[in-house]
């Protein structure tokens, strides 16, 4: 497989509903979309970096810079049998997992198309459907939150995740649990707390939560280990697991019982599979997280979630959860049993609408040898 052309776009599209976390508010989603062509085929991928350095130090601007000035020149006109060779070619670049992931995941779509198989099959997926959960941002009041949850449960979602932050935690969870005593519920703090606030999580033990996601700092493992010893609710790590080595440390320290793997966070599908395999063998339960992706990134997440190691409901919702009109056809939809079907067509398994991409593109650059 020879890489002949790389196209980068920054797209901007409005979210169906403002998404609020402890990081801030999002009502517009901006993303880098990649197209990589070779041998008459084109693969598509999406970068999960945000407009600002809130979730990660990487941003749309840093990703654009790293891909155009370093990654693309390293691989254009180079031959590789599979995406495995890509990691070796860019091994001299330290960090920048999101930029590498966007490129590597795009190569996986191209590789699957070259083999004439689905991306799920190329990755070793075994499931034909995946359980889907839904993530709700911080709401202005309890009634709004309760109303949203009722709506999503009616649609068929099997797990509800609510965002929390200091001052909007115990009372919020208590109200939700009181209204929905049997529904699987988890909370996500996005690293908004410190160990000195551990009493809050001991209180949350009362409410039979599936997990509390990333309660402490994004780069912390030791305090998470101490907190996990002090509370009954399983801790799920997200930002704290950017690599296999950090996964080793988390297991050794006992920092968590669950991990949310986002391929865009850890450097792509190959690294995600490696981390998932190690954690699964060591008794850590897994699910695939989302970052408000368009249908392109969503298709990649669905394919990864089809691997047997991912046993918990994933943060992969139907397309209309976030966007009125997606960039893929058909859009992803929720089945009555709360599952999303894994595409079986070649590559991503969905068609990318270039007309729709052109409509929402605010910046574009084509790279050739």
Q: Quick check: is 113 catalytic?
A: no
Q: Cα dist. 321→83, 292, 295 in Å?
A: 31, 9, 11
Task: Point out the catalytic residue in the list 100, 113, 161, 262.
Answer: 262
**149 CB-near residues (< 8 Å, 6+ apart):** 136, 160, 162, 176, 179, 180, 183
- Residue 182 neighbours by CB under 8 Å, 6+ apart: none
Cα separation, 126 vs 210, in Å, equals: 25
In the set 113, 163, 271, 273, the catalytic residue is 163
**Token pair in block for residue 222:** 């030791």
**Under DSSP, is residue 268 helix (H, G, I), strand (E, B) or coil?**
coil
Q: Phi and psi of 19, rounded to 5°?
A: -110, 120
* Phi, psi (deg, nearest 5) at residue 301: -65, -40
Cα 335 to Cα 30, 61, 263, 288, 309: the distances in Å are: 28, 37, 24, 18, 22
Sheet order of strands, 133-136 included: 133-136, 159-163, 185-188, 212-213, 235-237, 258-261, 285-288
Length, in residues, of the chain: 369
Task: Say whether 163 is catalytic.
Answer: yes
Distances, alpha carbon 280 to alpha carbons 14, 54, 158, 303, in Å: 37, 29, 22, 18
Measure CA of the first residue to CA of the last residue in the chain; give whole Å.
Answer: 15
List residues bridging with 131 in a β-sheet.
Answer: 339
Of all helices (H) and strands (E), which one includes residue 271?
Answer: helix 269-281
Q: Which residues are catalytic?
A: 163, 262
């Amino acid at each position: 497989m020879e890489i002949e052309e790389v196209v980068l776009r920054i797209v901007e599209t409005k979210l169906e509903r403002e998404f609020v976390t402890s990081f801030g508010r999002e009502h517009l989603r901006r993303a880098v979309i990649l197209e990589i062509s070779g041998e008459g085929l084109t693969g598509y991928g999406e970068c999960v970096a945000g407009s600002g350095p809130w979730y990660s130090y990487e941003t749309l601007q840093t990703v654009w810079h790293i891909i155009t000035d370093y990654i693309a020149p390293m691989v254009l006109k180079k031959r590789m049998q599979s995406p495995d060779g890509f990691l070796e070619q860019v091994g001299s670049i330290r960090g920048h997992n999101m930029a590498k992931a966007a490129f590597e995941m795009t190569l996986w779509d191209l590789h699957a198309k070259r083999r004439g198989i689905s991306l799920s099959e190329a990755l070793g997926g075994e499931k034909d459907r995946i359980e889907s959960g839904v993530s709700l941002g911080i709401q202005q009041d309890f009634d709004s939150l309760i109303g949203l949850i009722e709506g999503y449960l009616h649609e068929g979602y099997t797990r509800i995740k609510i965002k929390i932050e200091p001052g909007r935690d115990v009372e919020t969870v208590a109200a939700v649990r009181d209204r929905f005593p049997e529904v699987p519920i988890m909370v996500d703090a996005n690293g908004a707390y410190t160990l000195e606030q551990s009493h809050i999580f001991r209180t949350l033990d009362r409410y039979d939560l599936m997990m509390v996601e990333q309660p402490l700092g994004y780069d912390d493992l030791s305090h998470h280990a101490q907190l996990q010893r002090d509370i009954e609710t399983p801790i799920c790590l997200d930002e704290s697991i950017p690599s296999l080595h950090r996964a080793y440390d988390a297991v050794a320290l006992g920092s968590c019982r669950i991990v949310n793997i986002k391929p865009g966070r850890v450097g792509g599908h190959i690294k995600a599979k490696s981390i998932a395999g190690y954690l699964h063998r060591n008794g850590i339960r897994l699910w695939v997280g989302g970052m408000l992706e368009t249908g392109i990134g969503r298709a990649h997440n669905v394919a990864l979630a089809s691997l047997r190691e991912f046993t918990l409901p994933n943060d992969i919702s139907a397309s209309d959860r976030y966007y009125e009109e997606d960039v893929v056809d058909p859009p992803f939809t929720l089945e009555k049993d709360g599952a999303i079907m894994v595409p079986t067509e070649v590559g991503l398994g969905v068609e990318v609408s270039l007309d729709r991409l052109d409509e929402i593109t605010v910046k574009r650059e084509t790279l050739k040898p």
